[in-house]
């Protein structure tokens, strides 16, 4: 990995709002949010000082030996652990590939969600697991106490149970499981630097394949999908439907404690900030909308059309770890022309998607006349 940031699905600005304003309405959740933020800050400090090993470093562990032994295998190899509400990872192995369901709902949800994500990448993109070589899919559930997040740490997925006041358990959302697993695919491909625009693209690509995981599992066409990330993750006490909306950024929630979803839906609202690693969870709304608009314009299963374009760019030779919005947009337009033909429905929808959200591209600079990709 090019950096040591943990990839979380709940953005820090949402946890900050909960910690600052939630004490009266959501006392348990406010305490959980403060604890989460303190723990995250401590991890960042230790890693900055070089006092915390990279998640990939423990090659002597049983997990690493299993990874090596399974490399090249076909079919999913899921390993679900129970962290037992502690913060020692991965915890106790409680369900392996082929095992019958347990009595633990979170274990079974994680197992099924990992399977749905594996199926998307295998069936739609001919990719064998995160590394493309059949590596195991490792997850831990019941992490920490009232832990309000899920994250990818470079080797495994980790899910909290939520606090019960604001957040439900994080294994209940297939889009969240797909999002976090997709961070693993990104790590093994473009490894987009987790800062500023490249970091927003990292979050964006995870949202894309998280949404596609949910749609693929349901056999759902783009025009019929909700394009929500984390639908149902809030309790009924929260005025909100999800963490993010790809089709309409800025509309996922509007709550008296959490505030209004701050994601911009175009470059006119691009947020310049030093927090959230340069706004990676904020500005990801811009490319999110471009993708969702393109996919719904084309219609049908998005993983067969615009999803193919995005995957081709993510795994292609021209993307770099520092690629920004305009360069990424140009790459998708070129890829759409390569795969589907210049002037095809897919190509034109991709161009229009980027134009709608105000991301400058080579095509827009030429007035979209006589472009040759």
Q: Based on the fold, state whether residues 69 and 135 are members of the same structural domain.
A: yes
| Residues forming beta bridges with residue 157, ordered by sequence position | 139, 152
* Residues annotated catalytic, as ranges: 180, 281
Encode pLDDT of 331-345 as tens digits: 999 999 999 999 999
Residue 370 lies in a domain: no
Inform me whether the pLDDT recorded for 105 exceeds 50. Answer: yes
Q: Based on the fold, state whether residues 87 and 60 are members of the same structural domain.
A: yes
The number of domains in the chain is 2
Residue range 13-23: average pLDDT?
Answer: 93
Residue 247 lies in a domain: yes
Range of lowest pLDDT (8-12, 164-168, 270-274): 8-12
The model's confidence at residue 358, banded by pLDDT at 50, 70 and 90, is very high
The model's confidence at residue 41, banded by pLDDT at 50, 70 and 90, is low
Q: Based on the fold, state whether residues 182 and 227 are members of the same structural domain.
A: no
Sign of the Cα torsion 238, 240, 241, 242 reads negative
Inform me whether the pLDDT recorded for 68 exceeds 50. Answer: no
Residue that finishes a domain, picked among 150, 171, 188: 188
Give the CATH number, domain containing residue 93.
3.10.170.10
To the nearest whole number, what is the mean pLDDT of the chain?
A: 89
Q: Based on the fold, state whether residues 274 and 332 are members of the same structural domain.
A: yes
Range of lowest pLDDT (86-90, 100-104, 258-262, 296-300): 86-90
Inform me whether the pLDDT recorded for 312 exceeds 70. Answer: yes
Q: Based on the fold, state whether residues 43 and 94 are members of the same structural domain.
A: yes
Q: Based on the fold, state whether residues 205 and 156 are members of the same structural domain.
A: no
Q: What is the pLDDT of residue 121?
A: 98
Q: Based on the fold, state whether residues 236 and 297 are members of the same structural domain.
A: yes
Inform me whether the pLDDT recorded for 47 exceeds 70. Answer: no
The model's confidence at residue 42, banded by pLDDT at 50, 70 and 90, is low
The model's confidence at residue 368, banded by pLDDT at 50, 70 and 90, is very low
d(CA 252, CA 228): 8
Q: Based on the fold, state whether residues 57 and 144 are members of the same structural domain.
A: yes
Highest mean pLDDT among 30-34, 56-60, 70-74: 30-34
Q: What is the pLDDT of residue 280?
A: 96
Q: Based on the fold, state whether residues 116 and 249 are members of the same structural domain.
A: no
Residue that finishes a domain, picked among 188, 219, 243: 188
The model's confidence at residue 55, banded by pLDDT at 50, 70 and 90, is very low
Inform me whether the pLDDT recorded for 324 exceeds 70. Answer: yes
Inform me whether the pLDDT recorded for 257 exceeds 50. Answer: yes
Residue 371 lies in a domain: no
Residue that finishes a domain, picked among 146, 165, 188: 188
Q: Decide: pTM greater than 0.85.
A: yes
Q: What is the pLDDT of residue 40?
A: 64
Q: Based on the fold, state whether residues 153 and 277 are members of the same structural domain.
A: no
Give the CATH number, domain containing residue 308.
1.10.390.10
Encode pLDDT of 225-249 as tens digits: 999 999 999 999 999 999 999 999 9
How many other CB atoms sit within 10 Å of the CB of residue 188? 17
The model's confidence at residue 58, banded by pLDDT at 50, 70 and 90, is very low
Residue 76 belongs to domain spanning: 7-188
Q: What is the pLDDT of residue 367?
A: 53
């Amino acid at each position: 990995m090019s950096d040591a940031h943990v990839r979380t699905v709940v953005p820090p600005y949402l946890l900050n709002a909960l910690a600052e304003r939630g004490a009266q309405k959501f006392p348990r959740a406010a305490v959980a949010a403060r604890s989460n933020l303190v723990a995250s800050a401590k991890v960042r400090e230790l890693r900055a000082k070089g006092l915390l090993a990279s998640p990939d470093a423990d090659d002597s562990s049983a997990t690493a030996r299993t990874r090596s032994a399974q490399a090249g295998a076909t079919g999913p190899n899921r390993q679900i652990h129970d962290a037992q509400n502690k913060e020692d990872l991965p915890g106790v192995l409680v369900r392996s590939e082929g095992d019958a369901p347990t009595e633990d709902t979170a274990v079974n949800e994680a197992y099924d969600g990992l399977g749905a994500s594996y199926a998307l990448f295998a069936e739609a993109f001919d990719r064998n697991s995160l590394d493309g070589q059949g590596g195991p899919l490792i997850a831990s559930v019941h992490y920490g106490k009232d832990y309000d997040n899920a994250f990818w740490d470079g080797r495994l997925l980790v899910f909290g149970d939520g606090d019960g006041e604001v957040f439900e358990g994080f294994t209940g959302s297939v889009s969240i499981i797909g999002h976090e697993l997709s961070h693993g695919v990104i790590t093994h491909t473009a490894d987009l630097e987790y800062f500023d625009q490249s970091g927003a693209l990292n979050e964006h690509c995870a949202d894309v394949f998280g949404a596609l995981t949910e749609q693929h599992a349901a056999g759902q066409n783009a025009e019929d999908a909700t394009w929500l990330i984390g639908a149902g993750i809030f309790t009924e006490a929260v005025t909100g439907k999800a963490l993010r909306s790809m089709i309409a950024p800025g509309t996922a929630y509007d709550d008296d404690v959490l505030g209004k979803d701050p994601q911009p839906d175009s470059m006119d609202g691009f947020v310049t900030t030093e927090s959230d690693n340069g706004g990676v969870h904020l500005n990801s709304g811009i490319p999110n909308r471009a993708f969702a608009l393109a996919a719904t314009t084309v219609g049908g299963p998005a993983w067969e059309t615009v999803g193919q374009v995005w995957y081709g760019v993510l795994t292609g030779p021209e993307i770099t770890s520092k690629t920004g919005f305009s360069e990424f947009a140009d790459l998708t337009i070129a890829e759409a022309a390569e795969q589907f033909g210049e002037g095809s429905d897919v190509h034109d929808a991709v161009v229009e998607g980027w134009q709608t959200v105000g991301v400058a591209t080579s095509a827009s600079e030429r007035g979209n006349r006589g472009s040759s990709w």
